[in-house]
Structure 1
Amino acid sequence: METKLSGRLAIVEQDDWLKPVEGAMTERYAHFCRRLSGIERTAGSLVDYANGYLYFGFQYDPVRRGWWFREWLPGAIDVYLFGDFNGWQRTELPLRRGAGGVWSIFLPDESFAGRLVHGSRVKILVHGRNGWLERIPAYIRRVVQDEQSKDFSGQLWAPAKPFDWNGDRFDISSLGSLYIYECHVGMSQEKEGVGTYAEFAGTVLPRIKEDGYNVVQLMAVAEHPYYGSFGYHVSNFFAPSSRFGTPEDLKALIKRAHELGLAVVMDLVQAHYVKNINEGLNELDGTDHHYSLPGPAGEQPYWDSKLFDYGKPEVEHFLLSNVKYWLDEFHFDGYRFDGVTSMIYTHHGYTEFDSRDKYFTDVNGDALAYLTLANKLVHDFRPGAVTIAEDVSGMPGMCAPVPDGGVGFDYRLGMAVPDFWIKLLKEVPDEEWNIWEMWHMMVDRLGTVKTVAYCESHDQALVGDKTLAFRLMDKQMYTDMNRSAENLVIDRGMALHKLIRLFTISLAGDAYLNFMGNEFGHPEWIDFPREGNGWSYAHARRQWSLSTNGFLRYSFLGEFDKAMIGLMRRYGVLTSGFAYNHLMDEMNKTIVYSHRGDLLFVFNWHPQRSIPGYEVPVPAPGRYRIVLSSDAKRFGGYGRIDESVDAFSFPRTHADGSVGHYIKVYNLSRAALVLKKQED
């Protein structure tokens, strides 16, 4: 890779705001370059370096005819391999310590044929400073839990017939704009229980396709011992969660998604790992500084978890191998990197980023260098793959190309937008909403930084928070969502639910994200089974029937979302750049803007004021036809707009002598119109 340390970085040349901190930016890039150079000297390339999953753990040797098992445990005193294949004899098979603290053992077929087979349960016994402990190998590819004892153990996963990827040539870069459907496989079914990969592939993927989304973002993929952690306390980084099915089931899900034209992005958790001794990496070699820094520096106090030591070469190798593994073995199309802010700051983001200096204070340089390496690896190995940063800080250069001095992400999540909607709905009455503040929040981003827009995700749906639908309609959703009921709270809630989503998707980013079920206003919260709720699955599922039974209003919201996504895709709105603002009418709470020069958006946020014959400026003279009305009856509105009537523009001379063009519309309260200029 060509490095640029002799001159000014392109990222600094292009942004005067960064020139006062040019030294910090240059050192950040130099740090990455030093790490990369070391890797290339020893391995030849970053892609070849990230092959830990092909060396550690169980690897079959066809020449010697048997299994190698290797584990990096520099602090261990003794290590043994055991499992059902040797009658759980804990100290029968000692490993030999090698260079760099790598322990290994060879298990020849002549001794273990018929015993060490696909599905064999395995563990390691590690004698370290913390005693003699039974542990699960770090690179294990499958972990299962015993139903009676609830104990976890690893499995040798080596199916006789490799998964058939024949014909799978999907490339996410062919999709254009990304419309992301965020999902959790376990809670994706209507039953009160845990959904499976196979059920998801059969029932949810077709729904996602039909609704117009083109990217499936899978959460909670890597194994985690506590279901209620939402997959964020990972224990086994190379093992897809067995509670949803086998690795082959996950591969089949991804292949089926590709057949439907859907990309699959993994929610990758490398910001921290579970503290558990029995299941995870914590103190695996007997020390507190194996995968972490020693002492408090290795703790994530806000999440009750452990932090990775991104500066340790073996940890870097482990994590980069993990990045390549999911792309290689499972054909994922990219990643949403979770907890980036926690990774790159020693305060983990718990501060206000209200000055330039804050972005360059308390920075974890090793983590930033690691993320830059990870992004380079992803794009070197799979050029079309996509990476998304969950970063609330807005760290400069997060989405800039690596050669320019950036970290290399393709997108960042627009995390301020959902926070804004929640604050507005909680604290400000409708009639006091400031349309200038609303506009500014949607468009306050750098044009050079691709942003994933969303008004709510799984974060807002968890216990302790509320979805937009529940925040808008609350307990009335239990009694008055049937189509025959008349309820002003429901009317308001449905109207604003549609407006907020259309406003966000058409203004706030270059891609769009929705959490499954939120598109039709799925009621209540997400609450995984726990002692406090009697281990119930009642709130850890998706009640799809609410949107399909024909008697409830949820279907109206779902139909609007489908039409909205279809409109955005049909006219390429997400690729058209920032909208052009034509009108801000504070008195009538009306905002008018356009995309592409021919697509006009009219939003009336006023709770009561509807205005017939309202004059709207248009980007060009001509005939305008309504292509979407949030008040249409098929979307649960009152159908007060005749969508068959076109609006013809007329000129008006302004005070400065310029001539503008206008149309007249029925400007309905709490409603939005989208009009398209017709080619006559």
Structure 2
Amino acid sequence: MENSQKIALIREETWLAQYEPQIQRRFDRYQEAIREIDDFSGNILEYASVHNFYGVHYEAWRKGWVYREWAPAATQLYFFGDFNDWDRSAHPMKKSGRGDWEIFLPFEQYKDSFTHGSKVKVHVIAENGALDRIPAYIRRVIQDEITHDVAGQLWFAESFKWTDHSFTTKNSLKQPLIYECHVGMSQEKLGVGTYQEFEELTLPRIKAAGYNTIQMMAVMEHPYYGSFGYHVSNFFAPTSRFGTPEELKSMINKAHEMGIAVVMDIVHSHAIKNVNEGLNEFDGSENQYFHPGDKGYHEAWDSKVFDYAKREVQQFLLSNIRYWLEEFHFDGFRFDGVTSIMYHHHGLFMDFDSVDLYFDENVDEDAVLYLQLANTLIHNLNPQNISIAEDMSGMPGLARPIADGGIGFDFRMAMGVPDFWIKTLKHKQDEEWDMFELWHQLTNRPQAERSIGYAESHDQALVGDQTLAFRLMKEDMYFSMSLLQQNLVVDRGIALHKLIRLITLTLGGEGYLNFIGNEFGHPDWVDFPREGNDWSHQYARRQWSLVDDPLLRYGQLDTWDKAIIKLATDYQLLASAPAVQLQLDPDKKILAYERSGLIFVFSFHPTESFFGLPIHIKDAGEYKILLNSDENKFSGFERLDSKVHYFTDEHQCIKLYVPNRTVLVLEKN
């Protein structure tokens, strides 16, 4: 094939030339899959609409409700619940030739018993016995607080009145400034937060902070709260522990009114193995939704692995995507565990230190195809929808268009950045920090793929790990954050916290992410109620009173975060071309660069300040300080006069006073 005919990923990334057959095959399989989908369903939108067929629906033309379930290996299904006094044998379902089961309930006969809020289950007789199950496409699931019994719940609420028709995600797509959050732990109370509380109390904080996108975790129903929402049982049910579906819709609608996009953390990488609540062995077989045997078990996560090659599984997952986008007006997804999806080994115990590992027999080509189809659907439904991949392997082309030979995500998470900060803080003294390594780690990414940079996410906040603030300040945070006292550990921690977050924001990607509360240095890890902590909510909440207290330094960190997010917004920093290095001094720990017309000068030196430090500027003229981390309002020491202007000399340098552990942002006057 001539070079001009090569797909863009090969043509532009010449280091992938030897893998052209694999990349071409990936593209060809996608095209063939689309042709088959078009032949089977007409188009991918229809292919992804089986949620409108399966589950419980009112059919006006038949004047009644129909419930359908796909369970090909089952011997018999019975629909039961409040409507028939929980009689497991009174309502048998009929099976079709392709493994679908169906029952029809006439309106006139059941209008007083088959009602909004009543509970239902399906009794499945199969090779694994006679078991009560939750319908696979159920829209709401509730758990009894005393018995912990789980049941599906009929939800026939009136249609929600959306007012977000004029909302657009153009700002989020251009440069996503993401506020990652969890509704349940978003309040200060010792309990589970609700959608309504989040709308009334937390959304205004996010708006004031300047973020343009929310990333919501733990939306899909999960029986164990402590799983952080990652052991999903009911894929079409928003978790009822936070409130009703209408309250979730109201929360999203309010975010849109505020100009904030809402991205959902979607878990298609695995599913809970529980038989009572989830999909596992639904029809009695182990390979209905999942791979059989060891291939269908995720050893690290103790969960089940989807068979992405199976048409019915593809339709289940793709319909799930369409459902959340259309029913709840989500603006896109952050796909969890993409590494686990793409490889048979799930990325476990792998360093991905060879390019061969991206294209060898351990790549699950069916799973990669599923991700391509998912991205096609997401963007066909609305070109402004956002898709983000969480992948630690570095798969080439992950965030490139499918037509280029990619997998089609809009962004990829820069997962190496927080790992770099953890390793640096754990294993190096301040004077050992390597400026060359810092620059490399924050800028070394595929130029044709957009990344979401972040210093820490929920992963770094979990119990057993430490937040950035706690890693910097340890227990001193609990006793020495008052404005009225001095503490060297806290001084160092706050200074570095500010520098790390700004340099990550401006160098680390084309988007940026912060986990709820970490912007002001929330002191505690996240630990959900469990037996090991006596079911305490102490660490499954956010202590907003800390940032609201004018006598504590948390508020000053929050002020800094607002300032840097505003800077990124006003100057479209992350939508601009990558930063250009101006100066790197390994001994002075100085790093200076230009991005979007602004000059950033970082000093990571632990003790020494520099007078008359020359910084070479490409554009001669007069410069003023736009942002200075040493200001008192940012918990600094006011060692600089921000009103002073600086002029380039005959060598086209400006000479600055740069205090230790400080960053200056300058703009041409």
TM-score relative to the length of structure 2: 0.98
Q: Residue 658 of structure 1 aligns with which residue?
A: none
Which residues of 2 match residues 550-589 of structure 1 at below 5 A? 550-589=550-589
Letter in 2 for 1:629: N
Q: Residue 19 of structure 1 aligns with which residue?
A: 17
Letter in 1 for 2:169: I
Q: Distance in 1 between matches of 2:106 and 2:496?
A: 66
SS of structure 2 residue aligned to 1:524? coil
Q: Residue 655 of structure 1 aligns with which residue?
A: none
Q: Residue 644 of structure 2 aligns with which residue?
A: 645
Alignment counterpart, residue 170 of structure 1, candidates 167, 176, 201: 167
Q: Distance in 2 between matches of 1:409 and 1:71?
A: 32
Q: Residue 236 of structure 1 aligns with which residue?
A: 234
Which residues of 2 match residues 212-223 of structure 1 at below 5 A? 212-223=210-221
Q: Deviations over 1:518-552 (max 9, x none)?
A: 00000010000000101000000000110011111
**What's the CA shift for 1:167?**
4.4
SS of structure 2 residue aligned to 1:650? coil
Query: In 2 relative to 1, CA 672–309 (structure 1 residues): closer, same or farther, beyond 3 Å?
Result: same
1:178–1:511 Cα contact (<8 Å) kept:
yes
Which residues of 2 match residues 387-536 of structure 1 at below 5 A? 387-536=387-536
Q: Distance in 2 between matches of 1:118 and 1:383?
A: 35
Q: Distance in 2 between matches of 1:544 and 1:137?
A: 39
1:411–1:451 Cα contact (<8 Å) kept:
yes
Q: Distance in 2 between matches of 1:174 and 1:58?
A: 38
Q: Residue 541 of structure 1 aligns with which residue?
A: 541
2:163–2:253 Cα contact (<8 Å) kept:
no
Q: Residue 201 of structure 2 aligns with which residue?
A: 203
Q: Which runs of 4+ in 1 moved over 6 A?
A: none
Q: Distance in 2 between matches of 1:107 and 1:577?
A: 60
SS of structure 1 residue aligned to 2:650? strand
2:164–2:253 Cα contact (<8 Å) kept:
no
Letter in 2 for 1:556: Q
Q: Deviations over 1:119-148 (max 9, x none)?
A: 110000001111010000110000001122
Letter in 1 for 2:395: M
Letter in 1 for 2:637: Y
**What's the CA shift for 1:14?**
2.1
**What's the CA shift for 1:433?**
0.6
Q: Deviations over 1:75-105 (max 9, x none)?
A: 1011000001110011110000113111000
Q: Distance in 1 between matches of 2:613 and 2:637?
A: 19
Q: Deviations over 1:227-249 (max 9, x none)?
A: 00000000000000000000111
**What's the CA shift for 1:621?**
1.1
Q: Residue 674 of structure 1 aligns with which residue?
A: 665
Q: Structure 1: where are the runs of 5+ without partners?
A: 653-660
Q: Distance in 2 between matches of 1:91 and 1:382?
A: 45
**What's the CA shift for 1:560?**
0.2
Letter in 2 for 1:640: R
Q: Residue 311 of structure 1 aligns with which residue?
A: 309
Letter in 1 for 2:660: S
Q: Distance in 2 between matches of 1:397 and 1:261?
A: 31
Which residues of 2 match residues 341-352 of structure 1 at below 5 A? 341-350=339-348, 351-352=350-351
Q: Distance in 2 between matches of 1:545 and 1:378?
A: 39
Q: Structure 2: where are the runs of 5+ without partners?
A: none
TM-score relative to the length of structure 1: 0.97
Letter in 1 for 2:221: E
Q: Deviations over 1:147-201 (max 9, x none)?
A: 2211110011111x21111443322124431100000000000001000001001
SS of structure 1 residue aligned to 2:352? coil
**What's the CA shift for 1:290?**
1.0
Q: Distance in 1 between matches of 2:47 and 2:239?
A: 26
**What's the CA shift for 1:34?**
2.1
SS of structure 2 residue aligned to 1:157? coil
Which residues of 2 match residues 2-401 of structure 1 at below 5 A? 8-159=6-157, 161-175=158-172, 176-350=174-348, 351-361=350-360, 362-401=362-401
1:390–1:413 Cα contact (<8 Å) kept:
yes
Q: Distance in 2 between matches of 1:302 and 1:173?
A: 38
Letter in 1 for 2:220: A
Q: Residue 657 of structure 1 aligns with which residue?
A: none
Q: Distance in 2 between matches of 1:602 and 1:50?
A: 50
1:604 aligns with 2:603: yes
Letter in 1 for 2:410: D
Q: Distance in 1 between matches of 2:208 and 2:31?
A: 45
1:223–1:241 Cα contact (<8 Å) kept:
yes
User: Which range moved further: 565-574 or 421-430?
Assistant: 565-574
1:134–1:278 Cα contact (<8 Å) kept:
yes
**What's the CA shift for 1:10?**
2.6
Letter in 2 for 1:121: K
Q: Distance in 2 between matches of 1:167 and 1:518?
A: 29
2:262–2:332 Cα contact (<8 Å) kept:
yes
2:164–2:257 Cα contact (<8 Å) kept:
no
**What's the CA shift for 1:118?**
1.1
Q: Distance in 1 between matches of 2:64 and 2:439?
A: 64
**What's the CA shift for 1:32?**
1.7
1:168–1:255 Cα contact (<8 Å) kept:
no
**What's the CA shift for 1:664?**
1.4
Q: Distance in 1 between matches of 2:131 and 2:277?
A: 11
Letter in 2 for 1:399: A
1:410–1:450 Cα contact (<8 Å) kept:
yes
Q: Residue 656 of structure 1 aligns with which residue?
A: none
Q: Distance in 2 between matches of 1:670 and 1:380?
A: 47
Letter in 1 for 2:643: S
Q: Distance in 1 between matches of 2:72 and 2:20?
A: 39
Query: In 2 relative to 1, CA 235–446 (structure 1 residues): closer, same or farther, beyond 3 Å?
Result: same
Letter in 2 for 1:154: G
Q: Distance in 2 between matches of 1:558 and 1:307?
A: 41
**What's the CA shift for 1:571?**
1.1
User: Which range moved further: 106-115 or 517-526?
Assistant: 106-115
Letter in 2 for 1:137: P
SS of structure 2 residue aligned to 1:103? strand
Q: Deviations over 1:377-417 (max 9, x none)?
A: 00001111010000111111111111222110000000000
Q: Deviations over 1:595-627 (max 9, x none)?
A: 13x311010001001012211212211111111
SS of structure 2 residue aligned to 1:387? strand
1:400–1:406 Cα contact (<8 Å) kept:
yes
Identical columns (%): 52
1:665 aligns with 2:653: no
**What's the CA shift for 1:569?**
1.0
Q: Distance in 1 between matches of 2:321 and 2:441?
A: 34
**What's the CA shift for 1:29?**
1.5
Q: Distance in 1 between matches of 2:233 and 2:389?
A: 22
Q: Distance in 2 between matches of 1:470 and 1:100?
A: 56
Query: In 2 relative to 1, CA 481–329 (structure 1 residues): closer, same or farther, beyond 3 Å?
Result: same
**What's the CA shift for 1:110?**
2.0
Q: Distance in 2 between matches of 1:313 and 1:535?
A: 41
Aligned Cα root-mean-square deviation (Å): 1.2
Q: Residue 627 of structure 1 aligns with which residue?
A: 626
**What's the CA shift for 1:647?**
1.1
Letter in 2 for 1:269: V
Figure out how many residues of one structure are paired with residues of the other and give that number: 664
